[in-house]
Copies of this chain bind each other. A is one copy, B any other.
Amino acid sequence: MRKHLLLPALVILACAFPALPAASAADAAASAPSFVDGKLELPTDYRQWIYLTSGFDMSYSAARTADHHMFDNVFVDPSSWRAFQATGTWPDKTVLVLETRGAQGRGSINQGGQFQDGDVMGLEVHVKDTARFAGQWGFFAFNDKTPAKRLPTGSDCYSCHEAHGAVDTTFVQFYPTLLPLAIARGTLSAAYTVEEKKP
């Protein structure tokens, strides 16, 4: 993993998170968030979790400042994904991972567009732990596999997710397979519902 994490663009991307819920006890335990001295351990097997979506060069400001293209891929632990299927919202112990990856244009037989390369440029994690966190959710950014401290609650991530997240402070509006479930279950946040009605 490259060591130049927490570039502004990545902090912005961290805010592109959604959230999900839980199934069998064994399954939930296997993917439950693990803390050491109050720091979150990196869930190293997240690429075997449930994939939610990918974005390309997503940004919350109209002016693009990055000098390179990027993909972001979002995964959720399987237990919480199953709970979301049943309820349209996230259970306690939900873990979402946002992986930011470098993009390449020319390579092998590709002549146009972009594909993902081997460089993981950032890993950020959004955890629901109602007993541990005021506000229920915590954000974490990893530079490497070292356990990470929770980002301060004054970080933009928290206020942005609160104000704009479609479901339980998470960006389900960007997860095409989950948004219909949330609509069907009536779990969209009031703030998001009002925002979407604006012309």
A residues with CB within 8 A of B: 47-48, 50-51, 53-64, 71, 73, 75, 78, 81, 101, 103, 107-118, 160, 164, 166, 171, 173-174, 176-177, 179-180, 192, 195-196
- Given A48-B50, A108-B164: A113 touches B75 (CB 8 Å cut-off): no
Smallest Cβ distance from A177 to chain B, in angstroms? 6
Is the Cβ of A56 less than 8 Å from the Cβ of B103?
yes
Smallest Cβ distance from A75 to chain B, in angstroms? 7
**Docked complex Cα distance between A180 and B118 (Å):** 9
Is the Cβ of B61 less than 8 Å from the Cβ of A113?
no
Report which of B62, B108, B111, B166 forms a contact with A173, defined as CB distance below 8 A: B108
Q: Could you list 12 further interchain pairs (A-B, Cβ under 8 angstroms) beyond the known A63-B112, A108-B173?
A: A48-B50, A53-B116, A54-B54, A56-B115, A58-B115, A59-B111, A60-B111, A62-B111, A64-B112, A108-B166, A115-B174, A116-B176
